[in-house]
């Protein structure tokens, strides 16, 4: 539940109870002061100057930007108790729990303004009695929800109930809603967040005094260029005439055990600088912050939190895999090297995540092609999905629909072509009664959605009409002597080389286009009669049995490993890319036994119609190079 920035309000204290500003968001409003509990939940954000809107990478996102909660992979719990100014006390307890695509959170924030003495007087001014009352008590109960809208986008909201009591006699309650959004790339390098608190809110009302909860918008970013330094910046814009402010903060990690934090605020009346410390021991975190004030005493804060075991790279990879954030799972799994703990389990997570990403790419490409009425390409994409993951989402249903749509289009095209030829034959005086009858049968079948049979009938009608037209042409044609072209002898190699073509990497083109290029090349290599080419379907079956994912296999070492699994002599790897409206095909032919690249070629073309010629040219170069290599080996023998 994304709680975007909770502005947990300390609700209207009378001017004589607490005329103190505890945070930069406190402000005077008529005869009372509306104080904010924002930032009093965890010492980590406070130590960074409360620059947490764009970061929001732990349970503190509850109060700063609930959208960050959906990126959490472990349950987290946090608590804080603070003795504030003038005998005031603050408390917080919260918990978050992640699910597949979402995260929920519950929290409670409390404020106790301490005690105050009240003297009651008689009508003549003499003391009647004295009593001690609780100056103010506030509670904010909050339910948070966050939903991942993609691999890098998350949305969140908070539902808050605010209760406030003054002098044990004046009570008020209100509901409010916060909202947030967070953009976090897979590598977490540059994050951007927006939150708005109290976008939907009631008013705090003490008898005849009413004070609306002000709407506050925050925009923040977080820059993390490595694993030990994070720099953040936030801009805050309240309404109701409150001051806007700019905040800078940062966190420096030492061996992922100790954290040093600092922050500075510009445009605020009281708190100007902050610093903090953090200690992380196997997932149990103790955070401390110090907030310096211009006119008042400084404020210190300590909070305790846990993510139940720590966040190692393996736990992050496993957590993101369970949440269905497969690109993030791949990113963190790639950080685990051979010899590290959990390396073998990570291999399974990595293989499955790559399969999921590949299936997702083909699935999305298939949907796009279907929307563009490219049913043949859509079918091919969905077939690739089922080859990768047989029961992926509703792929089989979409494949069936695309198949029906393609059959309908093909039947319509066949009927249209047949009608043209029949009309042409009739215009030349030929009897087309049989062809017309069959064509009418085709149309009836089409109306009854029997598209395959309709296409077959249309092709039969076309064949009859075409045959009659050819006979007519023979009758009126002048016979010309036929000159036979000399036959060109084809030299076949004595022994065909076993070869496989891996799926090509896609750069600025779709995965489907790259796969199609690889298919074209397989076809030409087969037609060259110089190789025994392993079919793609057989490749996928063998590699799947060995839990080997060929997507992303672009190095010679990876190619050799794949080639040994497939039991072939040579393997062709490469990429299909586009730059400045020019297409490029880069290939390398790797010898599986030696691991050496025996050929490296690049071809380019600007128009799609040039592709067949360029593929043939590339195939000829491969055949020629391999042939020379074989000849050289025989000469050495």
The enclosing domain of 134 has a CATH number of: 2.40.160.60
pLDDT at 18 over 60: no
Interval 22-44: pLDDT, tens: 232 333 333 333 444 554 678 99
Would you state the pLDDT for residue 543?
Answer: 77
Structural domain count of the chain? 3
Interval 420-437: pLDDT, tens: 999 988 888 888 899 999
Among 221-235, 284-298, 482-496, the least confident range: 482-496
- Domain holding 318, by residue range, is 314-393
| Spatial separation of the C-alpha atoms in residues 421 and 435, rounded to whole Å | 10
Would you state the pLDDT for residue 493?
Answer: 41
Q: Where are the beta strands (DSSP E) in 560-596?
A: 570-579, 582-591
The most confident of the ranges 131-135, 227-231, 263-267, 617-621 is: 227-231
In this prediction, residues 160-187 reach a mean pLDDT of 89
Interval 304-324: pLDDT, tens: 999 988 888 899 999 999 999
- Residue 128: its H or E element: strand 127-134
The most confident of the ranges 209-218, 252-261, 576-585 is: 252-261
The enclosing domain of 356 has a CATH number of: 1.25.40
- Greater pLDDT, 108 or 550: 108
Would you state the pLDDT for residue 599?
Answer: 85
If asked whether residues 353 and 379 sit together in one domain, one would say yes
Average confidence score pLDDT of the chain? 82
The most confident of the ranges 214-223, 332-341, 513-522 is: 214-223
Tokens 């995965």 -> residue: 511
Would you state the pLDDT for residue 16?
Answer: 28
Query: Does 101 reside within a domain?
Result: yes
In this prediction, residues 499-528 reach a mean pLDDT of 85
Read off the tokens for 508: 């600025």
If asked whether residues 349 and 243 sit together in one domain, one would say no
Interval 362-409: pLDDT, tens: 999 999 999 999 999 999 999 999 999 999 999 999 999 999 999 999
Query: Does 445 reside within a domain?
Result: no
Would you state the pLDDT for residue 30?
Answer: 30
Nearest to 106 by CA among 94, 116, 118, 90: 94
Query: Does 439 reside within a domain?
Result: no
Indicate the DSSP class of residue 59. T
If asked whether residues 269 and 326 sit together in one domain, one would say no
Q: What is the SS3 assignment for 360-378?
A: HHHHHHHHHHHHCCCHHHH
Among 388-397, 435-444, 600-609, the least confident range: 600-609
Last residue of one domain, picked from the residues 393, 410, 445: 393
If asked whether residues 30 and 137 sit together in one domain, one would say yes
Query: Does 270 reside within a domain?
Result: yes
Are 515 and 550 a contacting pair, CB within 8 Å? no
If asked whether residues 318 and 259 sit together in one domain, one would say no
Would you state the pLDDT for residue 131?
Answer: 76
Last residue of one domain, picked from the residues 311, 337, 357: 311
Are 143 and 157 a contacting pair, CB within 8 Å? no
If asked whether residues 82 and 95 sit together in one domain, one would say yes
If asked whether residues 364 and 249 sit together in one domain, one would say no
Among 100-114, 381-395, 401-415, 578-592, the least confident range: 578-592
Last residue of one domain, picked from the residues 292, 311, 330: 311
If asked whether residues 237 and 363 sit together in one domain, one would say no
| Spatial separation of the C-alpha atoms in residues 358 and 41, rounded to whole Å | 41
The most confident of the ranges 295-299, 476-480, 559-563 is: 559-563
| Spatial separation of the C-alpha atoms in residues 566 and 542, rounded to whole Å | 7
Would you state the pLDDT for residue 86?
Answer: 63
If asked whether residues 163 and 217 sit together in one domain, one would say yes
If asked whether residues 299 and 362 sit together in one domain, one would say no
Read off the tokens for 489: 């002898």
pLDDT at 576 over 60: yes
Query: Does 476 reside within a domain?
Result: no
Q: Tell me the pLDDT band of 132, cut-offs 50, 70 and 90.
A: confident
The enclosing domain of 541 has a CATH number of: 3.40.50.10610
If asked whether residues 138 and 150 sit together in one domain, one would say yes
Query: Does 564 reside within a domain?
Result: yes
Number of helices and strands in the chain (H, E): 13, 27
Query: Does 58 reside within a domain?
Result: yes
If asked whether residues 335 and 284 sit together in one domain, one would say no
Query: Does 479 reside within a domain?
Result: no
pLDDT at 51 over 80: yes
């Amino acid at each position: 539940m994304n709680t975007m920035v909770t502005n947990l309000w300390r609700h209207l204290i009378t001017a004589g109870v607490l005329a103190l500003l505890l945070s930069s968001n406190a402000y005077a409003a008529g005869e009372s002061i509306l104080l904010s509990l924002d930032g009093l939940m965890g010492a980590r954000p406070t130590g960074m100057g409360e620059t947490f809107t764009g970061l929001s990478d732990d349970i503190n996102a509850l109060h700063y930007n609930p959208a960050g909660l959906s990126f959490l992979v472990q349950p987290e719990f946090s608590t804080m108790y603070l003795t504030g100014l003038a005998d005031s006390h603050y408390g917080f307890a919260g918990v978050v729990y992640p699910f597949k695509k979402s995260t929920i959170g519950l929290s409670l924030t409390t404020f106790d303004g301490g005690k105050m003495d009240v003297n009651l007087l008689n009508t003549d001014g003499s003391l009647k009695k004295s009593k001690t009352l609780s100056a103010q008590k506030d509670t904010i109960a909050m339910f948070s929800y966050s939903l991942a809208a993609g691999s890098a986008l998350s949305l969140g909201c908070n539902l808050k109930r605010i209760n406030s009591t003054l002098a044990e006699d004046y009570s008020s309650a209100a509901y409010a809603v916060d909202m947030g959004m967070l953009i976090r790339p897979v590598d977490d390098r540059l994050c951007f967040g927006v939150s708005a608190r109290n976008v939907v809110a009631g008013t705090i009302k003490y008898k005849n005094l009413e004070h609306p909860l002000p709407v506050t918008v925050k925009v923040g970013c977080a820059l993390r260029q490595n694993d030990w330094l994070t720099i953040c910046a936030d801009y805050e814009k309240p309404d109701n005439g409150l001051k806007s402010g700019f905040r800078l903060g940062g966190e420096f990690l030492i061996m992922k055990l100790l954290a040093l934090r600092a922050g500075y605020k510009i445009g605020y009346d009281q708190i100007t600088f902050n610093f903090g410390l953090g200690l992380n021991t196997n997932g149990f975190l103790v955070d401390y912050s110090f907030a310096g004030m211009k006119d008042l005493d400084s404020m210190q804060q300590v909070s305790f939190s846990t993510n139940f075991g720590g966040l190692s790279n393996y736990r992050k990879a496993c957590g993101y895999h369970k949440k269905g954030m497969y690109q993030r799972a791949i990113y963190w799994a790639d950080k685990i090297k051979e010899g590290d703990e959990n390396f073998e389990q990570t291999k399974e997570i990595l293989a499955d995540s790559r399969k999921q990403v590949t299936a997702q790419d083909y699935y999305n490409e298939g949907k796009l092609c279907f929307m563009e009425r490219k049913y043949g390409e859509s079918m091919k994409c969905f077939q690739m999905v089922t080859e990768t993951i047989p029961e992926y989402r509703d792929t089989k249903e979409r494949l069936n629909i695309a198949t029906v749509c393609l059959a309908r289009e093909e039947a319509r095209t066949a009927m249209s072509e047949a009608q043209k030829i029949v009309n042409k034959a009739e215009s030349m005086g030929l009897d087309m009664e049989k062809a017309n009858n069959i064509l009418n049968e085709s149309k009836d079948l089409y109306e009854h959605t029997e598209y395959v049979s309709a296409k077959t009938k249309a092709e039969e009608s076309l064949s009859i009409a075409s045959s009659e037209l050819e006979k007519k042409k023979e009758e009126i044609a002048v016979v010309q002597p036929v000159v036979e072209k000399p036959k060109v002898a084809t030299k076949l190699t004595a022994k065909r080389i076993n070869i496989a073509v891996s799926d090509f990497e896609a750069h600025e083109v779709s995965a489907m286009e790259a796969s199609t290029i690889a298919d074209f090349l397989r076809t030409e290599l087969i037609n060259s009669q110089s190789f025994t080419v392993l079919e793609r379907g057989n490749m996928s079956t063998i590699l799947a049995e060995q839990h080997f994912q060929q997507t992303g296999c672009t190095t010679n070492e990876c190619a050799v490993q794949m080639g040994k699994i497939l039991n072939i002599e040579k393997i062709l790897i490469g990429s299909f890319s586009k730059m400045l409206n020019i297409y490029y095909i880069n290939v390398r032919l790797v010898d599986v036994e030696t691991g050496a690249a025996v050929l490296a070629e690049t071809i380019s073309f600007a128009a799609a119609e040039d592709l067949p010629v360029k593929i043939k040219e590339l195939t000829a170069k491969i055949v020629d190079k391999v042939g020379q290599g074989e000849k050289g080996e025989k000469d050495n023998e």
